[in-house]
Amino acid sequence: MSLRAIPVAELLATLAARDIKVWADDDRLRCNAPAGALTAEFREQLRDRKDEILDFLSMAATVARQQPAIVPLQSQGTRTPIFAVPGHVGAPFTFSDLSKHLGDDQPFYALQPSGYDGQSEPMERVEDIAEYFARQIVEYQPAGPYIIAGYCSGASTAFELAKILGQRGAEVRCVVLFGPLYPPTNEKLPRLAYFSARSHVEAIAREIAKRPTFAARLRYVSGRLGNRLRDLVIRFRERKQPVVADPVLESRARLKSTAMAAFRRYIPMPYSGRVCIVLPNTDWLRSGAAARRWLRVAPHADFYFGPANCRAASMLEDPEASAIAELYRKATKKLND
Amino acid sequence: MNEVLPIAAGSTAVPLLKDADHQALVVEYNATVASYPSDRTIIDLFREQVTRSPDAEAIRFGTATLTYRQLDERSNQMAALLSSTGMGPGRIAVVFMTHSIEVVVAILGVLKSGAAYVPVDAATPEGRIAIILKDISNGTDGRAPVVITQTGLQSVISPSLADIVVLDADFSSILNQPVSAGPPAATPDGTAYIIFTSGSTGTPKGVEIAHRSLVNYIWWAAGVYCSGEGLAWPLFSSLAFDLTVTTLFTPLIIGGRIVVYLGDPGMQSMVVLKIIDDNAVDIIKLTPAHLAMVRDRDLSSTRLRKFIVGGEDFKTELARDITKAIPHPVEIYNEYGPTEATVGCMIHRFDIDRDLAASVPIGIPAANTGIYVLGEAYQPTGPGVIGEMFIAGDGLAKGYFNRPDLTDERFRMATDPQGGFSNLRLYKTGDLARWNSKGSLEFLGRADHQVKVGGARVELGEIEARLLKHPHVPECAVVAISTSVAKPATQTAAQIGHSESPAPQDGIARLVAYYVSSKPLTVADLRAHLAEELLESMIPTYYVPLERMPLTSNGKIDRAALPEPTADNIQPTQDFTAPSTETEKTLAALWCDLLKIESIGRHDNFFDLGGESLLVMRAVSRMRKTFDLDVQLRNLFERPTLAGLAEMIDGMRWAANSGGTSLSEGPREEIEL
């Protein structure tokens, strides 16, 4: 194949095979080769495709220095960039819908925790996770201002991250906590158990209320009990069968349990910067998430509430994400005012 | 410590319904109370018309005609024959006949005997008829139903399942019956008909309509469509389709004429054209798909003055074309209604100047009907919020025949959405709708067309509505498929805000858009058009152009008959270019395997192809293993196309290998460019 037709990567590989080294020196292309190795055709290619080669080398250099934690959901835009910590599952996609609703002018980076990729190990302390994110953010964008966001249990990491960045002199315009769980420092397990049981009971009560007759309600309850029993039987049977491990699911499970343990251990300390707390709905104030407790460490926090039927688990997904994006705009508009 | 802001100050929550909206959208909109002869049956109303115009022509088929008196007498004889075999209130007679004068006689005869009729289309397969007959038998204490049929159809009915009356063969026995009316047997509360519609489980379900509901609808329809005129109506659509009920009874209570047309089974489209060419009717009721076939006919001298369109979404463009094609003023009505609310419960008269949206509105509730858009817990929704449409009123069916569980599920007692403390019986339509800012109701397709694709809830109706707004797409259907089986996925029943993925566990759900276009369109065109209003997750992955949409015998789009999307019929993206470099080819093979896709082009985007959450992580994991490079999740977001990511991988490989020491000894030269 003619050298003219081959992609830059292949051209460079062809050169490398002949021990011809090519590198960028600002806007110049430099080349070091064994005497005689640079044929006229190679020279012509290097000259004619100089810009193309420089672009490739620049991209390769950037990729080599990349910060794995910074996942650009939307890298364009002129507004203050948002760096957002997902919940305990660590999925950067959590913010995809919200980012879309915030538009093309709002840079939005999800933060991928160590351990999410299945290669590195998950970190065991919220402070360490926040430190890791802080380093990656500063490497990626050395100067602020930043907006730091967090969802669910990731809110604690976001809170800590904002403090670390602030302590290092970076300008953190605002910390936005979406449906945050307050770390259950005192009543760890009982509170979580209560929270979980209550949400279950409420969900069942809602379903029962939808049934028009007593018979239909009875059918629903018995059907649910039956399903639960069947699940238990299946689970019991599956215990006896060898399980084929899925590395992606395994790493997620490990990250999840480590992140939850880190979250439970975390004790937030007072923060004087601006904090906006976006709750799925007003009922969330009475939930086990203990949202009001954030006022102990962020006494000036502002609260914003989503629609009555918005649920915490899906508040950042469509269709709820649009209302939550509106709340974000409102919160940051105040900031600009 | 700060006080938590009150909701009003701190929230931009989507409101449920403000008082003013509640008054306008729930109370005033449903102020539909109208008097009608609720103490009489459809037979009473027919007999009153017979008294008013005994010698007027009631029905015509070719050159054969019957006057009102003759139709009355013939149906009296039919009723007498049926009564002599034990038919009466509480009994059911299946009418399995082709379109004819006799079928109308049979239906009136059944009703006069006090029994209910079950219309079954002449093209119905034997197996389906058997299911219906067994269902009727099970629901009537094991008693075999009576089937009224014709010689040519008799063989389809198993004698073990029904008592068969062959109308043409037994005609002499009918003529021996008295022509005078027997004692009234039907009552307003009695069942007039049961129409079997397809059920989601594959078993047909019978919708049981009482005389009172039928009278409420026909009385209203006669007022709206006929305004006292005795119009000629063509009887051509399937009797098993409740759209036909309008044509069957409305003319007979107001002195109009039924003109019978017989079409080959499954070829009703051709009959529609024959009706136009015959030019013997003033008013026609049909589906939009059938009306679309009329569009290209010469309508300059038609006597048709009124069109009632129902059954499917009615495009404004079609209504406009018909209006313009007919020189005299025409009335075009869009009638909406499920079988469970007796034929039609909403109406809109098309206005060529005002109706500028893509679809003709479904309008306002019919007489004695309540239409509510409700969210969870039966709360009326506010403007802009998608809810499910519920219907209340005198048109509601008695329920599903012999299916108390299903009746409980779909017909519910709930607090009257208009307020107060009384309970109201509501039919859960499964149709999604929302109030727009102008206070009109927008129909958004079926709730059971709500699917989950790539983790996002998707309303197929909303995608179809947007696609139909394309000026060159008159018809379309969007379905979710599982790529591992490549068949349209079963649409799962879903409640508002709750849905399950249609994808089986081993497949990845993808959206396929089937469309008919008036000129060739590119995928890029279609995607750009959809992307103007829809979220990315709602943009179909595949596009299949069709010459025409497959239709059911009822004239609706037959989703089950849509072709399986294959490499042959999927429209390629305009800029499809095959992977060229080795890295691109390796990466394409990896993505194909992961996404269960046959081929991927250089410019295809991983996320557009259905890559989401777990698949992204699996892709990253496999790319690392395949290329032995530290590929990161972020790389896929930065370079989501095949060519883009392949180039980045080449860059990584270059960066990883370029730092080595020189392989060769000896003199070297250096150049700078």
Residue A14, domain CATH: 1.10.10
More confident residue, A211 or B3: A211
Q: Is the pLDDT of residue B501 over 80?
A: no
Q: How confident is the model at residue B439 (pLDDT cuts 50, 70, 90)?
A: confident
- State the average pLDDT for chain B: 83
SS3 state of residue B199: coil
Listed range (A154-163, B306-315, B575-584) with the worst mean pLDDT: B575-584
Shared domain check, A265 and A172: yes
Specify whether the backbone of B628 is left (phi greater than 0), alpha (psi in -120 to 50) or beta.
left
> Residues A241, A292: one domain?
no
Q: Do A209 and B668 make contact, defined as CB atoms within 8 angstroms? A: no
Identify whether residues A153 and A77 lie together within a single domain.
yes
A181 or B451: which carries more pLDDT confidence?
A181
Band (B92; pLDDT cuts 50, 70, 90) = very high
Domains of chain B are 42-367 (3.40.50.12780), 448-561 (3.30.300.30), 582-655 (1.10.1200.10)
Stretch among A179-193, B226-240, B355-369 having the lowest mean pLDDT = A179-193
Per-residue CA distances from B289 to B412, B549, B558 (Å)? 33, 9, 11
Highest mean pLDDT of the ranges A207-216, A257-266, B27-36, B606-615: B27-36
Categorize the per-residue pLDDT at B290 as very low, low, confident or very high, splitting at 50, 70 and 90: confident
Residues A251 and A237 in one domain: yes
Query: What are φ and ψ of residue B160, in 5° steps?
Result: -75, -15
Amino acid in the structure at residue B567: A
- Tell me the pLDDT of chain A averaged across its residues: 81
Lowest mean pLDDT among A6-10, B214-218, B261-265: B261-265
What's the alpha-carbon Rg for chain A, to the nearest Å? 26
Using a CB–CB cutoff of 8 Å, tell me whether A206 touches chain B: yes
Q: From the CB of residue B378, how many other CB atoms can be counted at a distance below 10 Å?
A: 21
Looking at per-residue confidence, does A18 or B351 come out higher?
A: B351
Q: Do B633 and A112 touch (CB under 8 A)?
A: yes
Q: Do B653 and A112 touch (CB under 8 A)?
A: no
Shared domain for A125 and A74, answered yes or no, is: yes
Cβ-Cβ contacts under 8 Å, B657 against chain A: 16
A65–chain B nearest CA distance, Å: 10
* B502 pLDDT more than 50: no
For residue B527, how many other CB atoms are within 10 A of its CB? Answer: 17
Regarding whether A226 and A165 lie in a shared domain, the answer is no
| pLDDT 10s digits, A108-123 | 999 998 888 777 788 8
ipTM passes above 0.85: no
Give the chain A residue nearest B651 (alpha carbons): A60
Q: Do B648 and A292 touch (CB under 8 A)?
A: no
Q: What is the pLDDT of residue B597?
A: 74
Q: Which of A66, A99, A104, A309 best probes binding to B when mutated, by most B CB atoms within 10 angstroms?
A: A309
Contact B654 A57 (CB under 8 A): yes
- What is the token pair recorded at B231? 């119009």
Q: How confident is the model at residue B268 (pLDDT cuts 50, 70, 90)?
A: low
Give rounded-to-5 percent helix, strand, coil for chain B.
35, 25, 45
State how far the Cα of B80 lies from the Cα of A88, in Å rounded to an integer: 76
Q: Are residues A277 and A173 in the same domain?
A: yes
pLDDT tens string B531-558: 776 766 678 888 898 988 888 766 677 8
Give residue B402's pLDDT band: very low, low, confident or very high (50, 70, 90): very high
Residue pointed to by tokens 């790529």: B483
Model pLDDT, residue A39: 84
Enter the DSSP assignment of B23.
I
> Which of A18, A199, A71, A336 has its CA nearest to residue B616?
A71
Is B634 an 8 Å CB contact of chain A?
yes
Q: Are A56 and A160 in a shared domain? A: no
Query: Among residues 276-305 of chain A, which lie with CB inside 8 Å of chain B?
Result: 281-282, 285, 292, 295, 299-305
Asked if A178 and A316 sit in the same domain, the reply is yes
Q: Would you state the structure tokens that stand for residue A85, as one six-digit string?
A: 């910590």
Of A19, A43, A64, the domain-final residue = A64
| Confidence at residue A2, expressed as pLDDT on a 0 to 100 scale | 56
Q: What is the DSSP letter of A258?
A: H
Residue A324 neighbours by CB under 8 Å, 6+ apart:
A98, A101, A178, A278, A306, A310, A315, A316
C-beta atoms of B652 and A32 within 8 A: no
- Give the pair of three-digit tokens for residue B73: 């007498």
Amino acid (one-letter) located at B128: R
Domain boundary, last residue among A38, A64, A90: A64
Bigger pLDDT: A271 or A193? A271
Q: Which of A221-225, B80-84, B184-188 has the lowest mean pLDDT?
A: A221-225
Q: Which domain holds residue A222?
A: 188-255
A83-100: string of b/e by CB count within 10 Å (b at 16+)?
bbbbbbbbbbbbbbbbbb
Chain B, 385 to 444: residues with Cβ < 8 Å from chain A are 386, 408-409, 412-414
- Token readout for A43 is 């020279």
Which residue in the set A56, A247, A310 is minimally distant from B621, CB to CB?
A247
Interchain contact, B672 vs A248, CB within 8 Å: no
pLDDT digits (tens, 9 = 90+) for B600-650: 888 888 887 777 767 788 888 888 888 888 888 888 888 888 888 998 898
Tokens of A86: 């997902």
Least Cα distance to B612 among B458, B455, B477, B459 occurs for B455
Task: Report residue B495's pLDDT band, with 50, 70 and 90 as the boundaries.
Answer: very low
Q: Which chain B residues are Cβ-neighbours of A61 within 8 angstroms?
A: 655
Give me the residues of B, 237-266, that contact A with CB < 8 A. none
From chain B, pick out residues whose CB is under 8 angstroms from the CB of A33. 668-671
B45 — pLDDT class (breaks 50, 70, 90): very high
Token pair in block for residue B371: 């239409």
Q: How far apart are the first and last CA of chain A?
A: 62
pLDDT higher than 70, residue B442: yes
Name the residue among B7, B535, B621 with its Cβ closest to that of A282. B7
Within this chain, do residues A145 and A270 fall inside the same structural domain, yes or no?
Answer: yes
Measured CA to CA, the distance from residue B196 to residue A329 in angstroms comes to 52
What letter would DSSP give residue A313?
G
- Number of domains present in the structure of chain A: 3
CA distance A68 to A71: 7
- Sheet with B346-349: strands ordered across: B283-286, B306-310, B331-336, B346-349, B364-365
Q: Are strands B205-210 and B399-400 parallel, antiparallel or unpaired?
A: antiparallel
* A241/A263 same-domain check: no
Task: State whether A263 and A317 are in the same domain.
Answer: yes
Please say which residue of A255, A282, A305 terminates a domain.
A255
* Interface membership of A47 toward B (CB under 8 Å): yes
Q: Which of A168-182, B145-159, B195-209, B214-228 has the lowest mean pLDDT?
A: B195-209
Is residue A188 scored above 60 in pLDDT? no
Answer whether B11 sits within 8 Å of A21, measured CB to CB: no
State how far the Cα of B435 lies from the Cα of B373, in Å rounded to an integer. Answer: 8
Q: Would you say residue B13 has pLDDT above 50?
A: no
Residue A211: band (very low, low, confident or very high) from pLDDT cuts 50, 70, 90 = low
Q: Convert the pLDDT of each residue in A1-22 to its tens digit.
A: 555 567 888 888 888 878 888 8
Could you give the C-alpha distances from B540 to B23, B463, B477, B503, B570, in angstroms and in order?
Answer: 39, 8, 11, 15, 12
Least confident range of B178-182, B278-282, B307-311, B653-657: B653-657
Residue B505's pLDDT is 34
- Give the chain B residue whose CA is nearest to the CA of A12: B654
- Between B636 and B216, name the one with better pLDDT: B216
